[in-house]
Structure 1
Amino acid sequence: MARYIFKRLIGMMIVIFIVLTIAFIIVRLAPGDPAALMLGPDASAEDAAALRQQLGLDRPIMVQYLSFVGNALQGNLGESLFFNQPVTQVLAGRAEPTIFLSLFSLLIALVIATPIGIYAAYRRGSFLDQAAITTAMLAASIPSFWTGLMLQRYLATDLGWFPVSGYGGPDTGFLERMRYLLLPSIVLGIVNSALILRFTRASMLDILGEDYIRTARSKGMGERRVVLRHALKNAAIPIITVVGLTFALLVSGAVVTERVFNIPGMGNLVVSAVLRRDYPVIQGALIVVASLYVLINLLTDLLYLVVDKRVKY
C-alpha cells in the first residue's frame, strides 16, 4: 500500500512538472511581445521594456524556465498584473465559491442520479427505465448556460426563490453566500447527474445478473437487502470512479455557470485574466487545477479500499 501511494505521488509530481512546462510555453507562444500584450496597445516602448525586465523576459529562455519552475515548486506563482497581489493570494480568494459550488453540485447530482439509476436497473425495460434514460440524455444534451438562464428567469426573477446572481457583499454571512450558490448548483447538478445516472444503471445491471444475486434471492433474502447491500456494494467502484471524475471536472470546468450567475470563482477569474492578458494568473490557475485534478484521482483510488476490502494495491 505504501509503495503504491509513493508511486502515485511520483506520478503526480511528473504530471505537475509537465503542466508547469506547458504553462510556461503557452505564455511564450502568445503572438507578439507578452509584455506589450499585458500592457495594452497604448503602452510605450519604454513601459514594455521595463515590464519585460520586471518579469525577467529579457533573460535567456532556459534561465526563465528554470526560474519559473523553481519559484513554482516553492509556492511562488508570480504576481498578478491586474490585482498587484501574489497569484496564490488571488487564487485563494476565489477558491471558496468554486469549491462549494462543486461540492453542492456533486451532492445534488448524486441525490438525483443514484436512486434513479438503481431503480432503473432494477426495473430494466420498464417505462420508468426508458424515461430515466431519455431524461438523462436530454439533461446531458442541453447546454448548461441555457438551463441556467431558464432557471434564473423563472425561479429567481419570477418566483424570487433564489438570488438572481452574485455571491453577496463583503459583509455577507457564510449561510447567505451558500444561498447564492443553490441555484447554480442545481443547474450543474442536473447537467452532471446524467453521466452518473447512466454509469449507476449500467454498473447495477452487470451486478444484478450475477449468480450470487440469484442465490441470495433463492434463500429468501428481501429485495431491498439484495439490491442495496449486495448489488450496490459490488457495483460501487465504477460509480465512485465516475463521481470522482465528475467532481474534478466540476472544479475545473464550472466556467460557464460562474459567468452566467456572476460568481467570483476561479473559472470567472480565469476568463477575466484571459481578457486582461494577466498571464501569471492564467499560469497559476492551470497549475492549481491540474494539481487538484491528480489529487482527486488519487483520493478516488484510495476510496476503493474503503468500499471494497478485496481491492489490493
Structure 2
Amino acid sequence: MLRSIINRLFGMLVVMAIVVTIVFVIVRVTPGDPAAVMLGPEASAADIAALRTKLGLDGSILEQFGRYVFGVVQGDFGQSIFLNQPVTQALAQRAEPTFFLTIFSLLIATIIALPVGILSAYWRGSIFDQVATTVAMFAASVPSFWLGLLLMQFFAVKLGWFDTSGYGGPGASLGNRLNHLVLPALALGLVSSALITRFTRASMLDVLNDDYVRTARSKGMSEWRVVLKHAFKNALIPILTVLGLTAALLISGAVVTETVFGLPGVGNLVVSAVLRRDYPIIQGALLVIAGLYVLVNFGIDMLYLLVDPRVRY
C-alpha cells in the first residue's frame, strides 16, 4: 500500500512538472511579443521594455524557465498586470464562491444521481428506468449556462425567490452569499447528475446478477441490505471515478456559469484575464486548476484502497 501511494505521489510530481512546462511555453509561443500584446498597440517602447523586465522576458529561455519554476515552487505565480497584485492573492480572493459552488453542485448531483441510478438498475426495463435514462440523456446534452438562464428567468425574475446575479455586498452574511449560489449550483448539479446517473446504473447492472448477490438473497437478507451493502459497495469503484472527474470538471467548468450569474469567482477572474490578456493570472489559474485535478485524482485513488482492499495488491 505504501509503495502504491509513493508511486502515485511521484506521478503527481511528473504531471505537475509537465503542466508547468506547458504553461510556460504557452506564453512564449504567443504570436508577437507577449508584453506588447498585453499592453496593446498604443504602448510605447519604454512601457513594453519595462513590462518585459517585470515579466522576466528579457533573459534567455533557460533563464526565464529557471526563474519561472523557482517562483512556482515558492508559490509565486507572478504579478497581475491589471489588478496590480500578486496572482496568488487575486486567486485567493476569488476562491470562496468557486469552492462553495463546486461543493454544492457536486452535492446536488450526487443526491439526485445515486438514488436514481440505483433504482434504475434495480428496476431495469421498467417505466422508471426508461424515464430516468431519457431524462439523463437529455440533461447531459443541455448546456449549463442555458439551464442557468432558464432557472434565473423563472425563479429569480418571475418568482423573485433568488437574486439574479452577484454574491452579496462586502458585508453580506454567509446565508445571503449561499443564497446567491442556489441557482448556479442547480444549473451545474442537474447537468452533472446525468453522467453520474448513467455510470451508477451501469455499475449496478454489472453486479446485481453476480453470484454473491444471489447468495446474499438466498440467506434471507432483506432486499435493501443486499442492494446497498453488497451490490452498491462492489459497484463503487467506477462511481467514485466519475464523481472525482465530475468534481474536477466542476472546478474548471464553472467559468461560463460564474459569468452568467455574475459570481466573483475564479472562473469569472479567468474570463476577465483572457479579455485583458493578463497572462500571469491565466498562467496561475491554469496551474491551480491542474493542481486541483491532480489532488482530486489522488484522493480518488486513496478511496479505492479503502473501498476495495484488492486494489492494495
CA contact (8 A) 2:258 2:265 kept: yes
- Could you tell me which amino acid in structure 2 is paired with residue 257 of structure 1? T
Q: Quick check: 2:156–2:163 contact (8 Å CA) kept in 1?
A: yes
Match of residue 200 from structure 2: 200
1:141-156 equivalences under 5 Å are 141-156=141-156
For 1:63 and 1:310, how far apart are their aligned partners in 2? 47
Instruction: Indicate yes or no: 2:239 matched with 1:255.
Output: no
Q: Which amino acid aligns with 1:165?
A: S
- Superposed displacement of residue 54, structure 1: 2.0
Deviation at 1:305, TM superposition (A): 2.5
Secondary structure of the corresponding residue to residue 254 of structure 1: helix
Secondary structure at 2:311 match in 1: coil
- Look up the match of 1:48: 48
Residue equivalent to 1:63: 63
Write the deviation string for residues 11-64 of structure 1: whole angstroms up to 9, x where unpaired. 111111111111111111112111111112221112111211222212111111
Paired position in structure 2 for 1:78: 78
After superposition, give the CA deviation of every residue in 1:160-192 in whole Å (9 maximum; x if it has no partner).
121111111111112211111111000100000
- Once the two structures are superposed, what CA deviation does each residue of 1:137-170 show, in whole Å capped at 9, x if it has no partner? 0000111111010000001111112111111111
* Count of residues in Structure 1 that have an aligned counterpart in Structure 2: 313
Is 2:216 aligned against 1:237?
no
Amino acid across the alignment from 2:60: P
Q: Retained in 1: the 8 A contact 2:204–2:235?
A: yes
Please report how far the alpha carbon of residue 7 of structure 1 lies from its aligned counterpart in structure 2 after TM superposition.
Answer: 1.6
Shift of 1:257: 0.6
User: 1:7 matched to which residue of 2?
Assistant: 7
Counterpart of 1:20 in structure 2 is: 20
**Unpaired runs of 5+ in structure 1?**
none
The alpha-carbon deviation at position 101 of structure 1 amounts to: 0.5
Aligned identity (percent) is 65
Give the equivalent residue in structure 2 for 1:125.
Answer: 125
CA deviation digits over 1:213-253, x for unaligned, max 9? Answer: 11221222211111111111111111111101100111111
Give the Cα–Cα distance (whole angstroms) in 2 for the partners of residues 219 and 161 of structure 1: 51
Kindly state the Cα deviation for residue 310 of structure 1 after the two structures are TM-superposed: 3.8
Q: In the alignment, what sits opposite 1:88?
A: 88
Q: Does 1:102 align with 2:108?
A: no
Deviates more, 1:171-180 or 1:145-154: 171-180
TM (norm. structure 2) is 0.98
**TM-score of the two chains, using structure 1 as the length reference:** 0.98
Q: Name the residue aligned to 2:278.
A: 278
Alignment of 1:201-220 (within 5 A): 201-220=201-220
Contact (CA 8 Å) 2:4, 2:312: kept in 1 or not?
Answer: no
C-alpha distance in structure 1 between counterparts of 2:202 and 2:158, whole Å: 39
Quote the residue 2:188 is aligned against: 188
CA distance in 1 between counterparts of 2:308 and 2:2 reads 18
CA–CA separation in structure 2 for the residues paired with 1:310 and 1:45: 64
Match of 2:303 in 1: 303
* Shift of residue 282, structure 1, vs aligned partner: 0.6
Q: Distance in 1 between matches of 2:289 and 2:152?
A: 28
Deviation at 1:309? 3.5
Q: Which amino acid aligns with 1:203?
A: S
